[in-house]
Chain A
C-alpha cells in the first residue's frame, strides 16, 4: 500500500531530521556556538516521533531537558530551535531558555523542564483545565526513568488517576538516570507496575521501533482522549550518546552501547521499508533535504540577533494586560 509506505518514509524523515540535527549540534557545541548543557536524544528518536503520530495540533506537550527531538517532531522549526541554542532572540524562547528550555505557544509546547519530574504536575494541571473546560484534548508528558523515582511522579499518577485526567504519561526509559543504571535506582524495575499501583493502564512498546511506539501511542491516546483517564506508556529505549556533553561515560560498557546500536531505530525502519522494495533513492533524497534544512537552520541561527542588554529584566512579569 502506497499510503503505508509514504507514512513510513515520513517517519523516517522525522527521525533522520532529529538525528542529523543533533549530530550537527554536537559539532557546534565543540565549536562553542552552543554552550551550557546539551543533552542529545540520539538513539531515542523512535519514541518522540512515534508518540507524536498520536497527537493533534490541539494537544499539549510537556517535555524534559532532552527535548530537541520532541520539539522537532512537534513541528517547531529547526531554525528557531537552533537559534535558541545560539542564544539569539529569534530562538523559540528568545534565547532566554537555551537547549533545555524550548517553548512554543503556537504548537502548545510547554517546555523543556530541567528539573527531573518537575513537568509532571504541569501536565496534570493542563489536563485538569481541559477536563474542566470540556475539551477532549490530550496532554502528553515526557519524562525519563529517573523521574519515576521522584515523589512528583507518584503524586501525579495518584492525582491524575483519582481525577481521571487526560494525561498521556510517556516514560522514555533509557535505563540510566544520568549515570546510574535502572536496577541501582529502582526496587521495582518494571516501571509499568508503578502505574498499575495507581490503577493507571500501561503498555511497554519497544522504544527502538517507531512503528511499535506509534501503534501503542495511538491506542493509548485514544483511551485518554475518550475520557477514560490517564495512560502510562513506558518506551524502552537507549541513549547512544553521553548524558550531556560533559559526561565521560565511565558507568557503562562500550560493548553495551554497541549492542544497543544494532537496534538503532533508523536502520530498523529502513529494513522494514525494504521489505516492500528498495528505498535507496528515497533515503538519499530525504538525507539531502534534511541536510539542506539543517544548513538553513544554522544559517538562520548565525544571522540571528542578540537581545539588547537593556531588555535584561523583561519577561519576569507580564507586559500584557490581564486577560
Chain B
C-alpha cells in the first residue's frame, strides 16, 4: 500500500465509525481528490459526506470551522498549502482564536489536510513548505506525518482532538510504498521519534526530509559515522524533551527543513536546543533549509533550493570531522 492508501483507509475508518465525520474540498468527490487520496469514497459514502466544493478556500475552510462548532467533525482538504493562503483569515483569525476569544466556550474540532512541499518543478506558486510558518500560530496543532503509520494514525488522532488540527502531507510521499502495522489506529502526537539511533550527530527533521536524512545516515554508516535521525512529527507543539535527550547523547545537531531558513521551524528548534541543551553541545548547531528564493522552475535550480541527500551527507561529515 501507499502513503495515499494509508490516508484513504483512515478516512474510510473515520467515515464509517462516526456519522458526524465528512470530507469536503475541491475535487474530493467526482474527481477523487487531486492526489487521488479520496478516490472511491464518493461511491461508498455519497455526496452528503464527500462534498465537492467550489474554488473558494475561505468559504469552505470557514464552513468547516462553522460545521465543527455546529457539532460535526469535518475534514477539510485544501488541495495544497499554497492555496491555504486564501483561507488564512479563517484559519488564523477564527479556527485558532474562537476558543480563546469566547473565554473557553466554543472549541473548534476541525481537521484541515493539505499537500505541501516542492521538488516537482511546479515553480514558485505550487512549491511552498508552509508547515513551519503555520506552527507559529497558537491555538492550532500542526502535524507532519512522514510514515504510512503516521499518515493513517495522525488523521484518526486529529479527529479525536477538540481543537483545530492542520495536517501537512508532503506531496512527494503519496506514492511511497510501505505497510501499515497490524491493528493500525490513532497514534500519539505529543512526541517526536528517533527513527534511527546513532551516536555522532542528531539529524532533526520531518516530512520528506526524514527519508533523505535516513538515506544520508545509511550511506555514512558505511564510513563509520553513526547519525541519529529524529522525526519531529508534530511541529506544534514541539516535543523539546526528545530533542534535548537526543542531543545530550550525540552532542551535535543538524536540522533539516525544506522551509525557508529565516524565522522557520529550524530556527525555533535551534533556539530551544540552545536554551535547554547548550552545555551538551560540542559543536555549533547547523541548519539545512530551503534556499531563500521563490521556487525556481528549472530542475537544477529547484534541486539546489531544497536540502538533498548529498547535501545532508556532506553537512554531517563536515560537522563530525571538524569537531571529531
- Interface of A toward B, CB cutoff 8 Å: 60, 62, 89, 91-97, 101, 103-105, 110-111, 113, 115, 118, 120-130, 132-133, 151-152, 155-156, 158-159, 162, 314-323
Structural contact, B66 and A158, CB atoms closer than 8 A = no
Given contacts A125-B66, A156-B62, 20 further A-B contacts (CB under 8 A): A93-B103, A93-B105, A96-B101, A96-B102, A103-B102, A113-B93, A120-B59, A122-B65, A122-B94, A125-B68, A125-B69, A126-B67, A129-B69, A129-B70, A129-B71, A132-B67, A133-B72, A152-B59, A317-B162, A318-B104
Give the distance in Å from the alpha carbon of A321 to the alpha carbon of B60 in the complex. 27
Q: A96-B100, A158-B59 are in contact. Are A128 and B160 (CB under 8 A)?
A: no
Q: Which of B102, B138, B163 contacts A111 (CB 8 A)?
A: B102
Chain A neighbourhood of B202, CB < 8 A: none
* Shortest beta-carbon distance from B75 to chain A in Å: 13
Q: How many pairs of A and B residues are in contact by the CB < 8 Å rule? A: 156
Q: Could you say which residues of chain B place their CB within 8 Å of the CB of A120?
A: 59, 62
Find chain A residues with CB under 8 A from B280 CB: none
Interface residues on B, range: 35 or more
Listed by A's residue number, 13 A-B pairs whose Cβ atoms lie within 8 Å are A111-B102, A113-B94, A121-B60, A121-B90, A124-B62, A125-B64, A125-B68, A126-B66, A127-B70, A128-B72, A129-B68, A155-B59, A159-B56
A322→B103 contact, CB < 8 A: no
- Mask for B45-69, Cβ within 8 A of A = 1, else 0? 0001000011010111111111111
| Cβ 8 A contact of B101, one of A103, A104, A122 | A103
Q: B70 to chain A: closest CB distance in Å?
A: 3
A contact residues around B54 at 8 Å (CB): 155, 158-159, 162
Which residues of A have CB within 8 Å of B66? 62, 110, 121-129
Least CB distance from A198 to B in Å reads 11
> Could you say which residues of chain A place their CB within 8 Å of the CB of B103?
89, 91-97, 103, 315
Give every chain B residue within 8 A of A155 (Cβ-Cβ): 54, 56, 58-59
Q: Is the CB of B67 within 8 A of A320?
A: no
Contact with A121, one of B63, B71, B162 (Cβ below 8 angstroms)? B63
Would you call B102 and A121 a contact (CB within 8 A)? no
Which residues of B97-124 are within 8 A (CB) of A?
Answer: 98-107, 109
Whether the pair A121, B62 counts as a contact (CB closer than 8 A) is yes
Q: Which chain A residues border B64 with CB–CB below 8 Å? A: 125
CA distance A103 to B99 in the complex (A): 10
- Complex Cα–Cα for A282 and B265 (A): 65
Q: Which of A103, A133, A152, A321 contacts B71 (CB 8 A)?
A: A133
The residue on B at minimum CB distance from A123 is: B66
Interface flag for B22 (CB, 8 Å): yes
Alpha-carbon separation in the docked complex, A156 to B56 (Å) = 8
Cα A151 to Cα B58 in complex, Å, equals 9
Nearest first, the 9 closest Cβ-Cβ pairs linking A and B are A125-B66, A121-B62, A129-B70, A94-B103, A155-B59, A155-B56, A103-B102, A125-B63, A318-B162
Tell which of B70, B104, B105, B160 has the most Cβ of chain A within 10 Å: B70
Cα–Cα, bound, A89→B105 (Å)? 13
B190 within 8 A of A: no
Closest to B90 in A: A121
The distance in angstroms between the C-alpha atoms of A86 and B54, with both chains bound, is: 42
